[in-house]
């Protein structure tokens, strides 16, 4: 037996269609009940509970109790990055499974990926700040330049607070729909929070869609479009 992490076990857990749908439903960072996840997975609540037990054991999901209810969320940002990357690989490997409806174009345009902006506008944000030389990339490492730090301060992002967090400031995340990278890390999260604060965008209830207003999208593109 080869040494190292057991990726086959994790792959088998994610590879089950019902579990894959349940995990994808948690990519928006919200916590859901077993009943809600059963609907997402297309299975009974009893079957969903069995799936969730396996995902909990592998730490792919977490659980919180509130009163009589149990709420499940993703096991962490690394799990979110893994799922988004897998979706990118799957999108390039063959036909995609699409639930028909008006949300699909909106998801591709702008959506939340755990806690940061993804979709076409997420990619534009990352490429725009690189074009403006706000970020410097050395191999896989990404860091803010002096110009970038000044920009963030002027944009009301508190870098001192972000740098106290136990997570990377800047990180690439492969976007499954655009098949290019968008910005993750605490800075990616801070940018999305700032867009909400400015009234440029808001979350669509019960969805991963991030809806930009016409004025908000214009302000976003004026500042970040590559």
Segments forming the whole domain that contains residue 24:
7-75
1 inside domain: no
Contact 82, 76 (CB under 8 A): no
Is there a single domain that holds both residue 95 and residue 167? yes
Q: Which residue has the tokens 């944000």?
A: 125
Question: Does one domain contain both 209 and 177?
Answer: yes
Sorted by sequence, the CB contacts under 8 Å of residue 61 that are 6+ apart come out as 23, 26, 52, 55, 72, 73, 74, 75, 79
Sign (positive/negative) of CA torsion 211, 25, 17, 177? positive
CA separation for the pair 111, 190 (Å, rounded)? 15
Q: Say which residues have a Cβ less than 8 Å from residue 19's Cβ, sequence separation at least 6.
A: 13, 41, 51, 54, 55
The C-alpha atoms of residue 53 and residue 19 are separated, in whole angstroms, by 11
Confidence at residue 226, expressed as pLDDT on a 0 to 100 scale: 62
For residue 23, tell me if it sits in a domain.
Answer: yes
Q: Are residues 34 and 104 both part of a single domain?
A: no
Looking at residue 1, what is its pLDDT?
46
Are 207 and 179 contained in the same domain? yes
Q: Are residue 182 and residue 218 in the same domain, yes or no?
A: yes
pLDDT confidence of residue 140: 75
N residues, the chain: 226
Q: How confident is the prediction along the chain (226 residues), in pLDDT tens digits per residue?
A: 466 677 888 889 999 999 999 998 888 777 888 998 998 899 999 999 999 999 999 999 999 888 788 889 988 888 888 887 787 777 666 655 544 444 588 988 999 988 899 999 999 999 999 999 999 988 778 999 999 999 999 999 999 999 998 888 998 887 877 778 899 999 999 999 999 999 999 999 878 899 999 999 999 999 998 6
The answer to whether 192 and 106 are in contact (CB under 8 A) is: no
Q: What is the DSSP string of 99-116?
A: --STHHHHHHHSEEETTE
Q: How far apart are CA 129 and CA 108, in angstroms?
A: 20
On whether both 126 and 27 belong to a single domain, the answer is: no
Do 220 and 185 sit in the same domain of this protein? yes
DSSP letters, 150-165, are: HHHHHTT--HHHHHTS
């Amino acid at each position: 037996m080869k040494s190292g992490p057991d990726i086959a076990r994790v792959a088998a857990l994610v590879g089950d269609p019902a579990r894959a749908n349940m995990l994808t439903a948690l990519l928006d960072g919200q916590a859901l009940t077993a009943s809600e996840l059963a609907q997402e997975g297309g299975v009974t609540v009893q079957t969903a509970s069995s799936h969730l037990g396996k995902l909990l054991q592998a730490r792919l999901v977490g659980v919180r109790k509130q009163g009589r209810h149990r709420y499940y969320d993703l096991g962490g940002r690394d799990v979110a990055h893994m799922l988004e990357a897998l979706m990118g690989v799957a999108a390039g490997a063959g036909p995609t499974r699409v639930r028909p409806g008006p949300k699909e174009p909106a998801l591709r345009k702008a959506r939340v990926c755990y806690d940061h902006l993804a979709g076409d506008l997420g990619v534009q944000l990352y490429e725009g700040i690189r074009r403006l030389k706000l970020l410097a990339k050395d191999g896989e490492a990404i860091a803010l330049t002096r110009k970038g730090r000044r920009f963030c301060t002027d944009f009301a992002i508190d870098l001192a607070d972000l740098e106290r967090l136990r997570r990377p400031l800047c990180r690439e995340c492969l976007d499954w729909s655009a098949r290019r990278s968008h910005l993750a890390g605490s800075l990616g999260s801070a940018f999305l929070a700032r867009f909400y604060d400015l009234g440029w965008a808001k979350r669509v209830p019960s969805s991963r869609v991030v809806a930009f207003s016409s004025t908000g999208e214009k302000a976003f593109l004026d500042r970040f479009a590559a």
